[in-house]
Amino acid sequence: MTTIFVCESSDLLEGGKGVRFPVTAGDQDTTGFVVRYGGEVYGYLNRCAHVPIELDWNPGEFFEGSGLYLMCSTHGAIYQPDTGHCSGGPCRGGRLRVIKVIEESGKISWFPDEFVRPARA
């Protein structure tokens, strides 16, 4: 399976700013993102489980102040960074859509699937 480069590993700091990348999800052009948490890299579709809007406050700002949770900037939904499960706010019980990612040789890449594909030109 072909992977698509997102960023250098050094671009992601633990609990810090994430990196956005363009995708097509279903029939919509949108973004995905990667963050580092617990020493691992996680990827998600940048779409809140409560209302399908982007999560980040400013581009790449996904973590709330403690760096322990991902937070939707609009309604305050709180997500576990390592699972995408909503643990508080209006999306309780929901989850972010996972985008499979890999980190190897100092690079982070993602795997397209049947729903999330490379962005249309």
- Going from the C-alpha of 110 to that of each of 29, 67, 101, 117, the distances in angstroms are 16, 23, 4, 10
38 in a structural domain: yes
Residue 39 tokens, joined: 């020493």
Domain-located, residue 36 = yes
pTM (predicted TM-score): 0.94
Each of the 121 residues of the chain gets a pLDDT tens digit; together they read 689 999 999 999 999 999 999 999 999 999 999 999 999 999 999 999 988 899 998 999 999 988 899 999 988 899 999 999 999 888 878 999 999 999 999 999 999 999 999 998 6
Residue 84 domain-assigned?
Answer: yes
- For 73-90, b/e burial (b = at least 16 CB within 10 A) is beeebbbbbeebbbeebe
Residue-level pLDDT at 7:
98
- CATH for 91: 2.102.10.10
The tally of domains found in the chain comes to: 1
121 domain-assigned: no
Given a contact cutoff of 8 angstroms between Cβ atoms, the answer to whether 77 and 64 are in contact is no
Residue 17: the pLDDT is 95
Is residue 46 situated within a structural domain?
Answer: yes
Residue 1: what pLDDT? 67
Q: Is 64 within the bounds of a domain?
A: yes
Domain of residue 30 covers 4-110
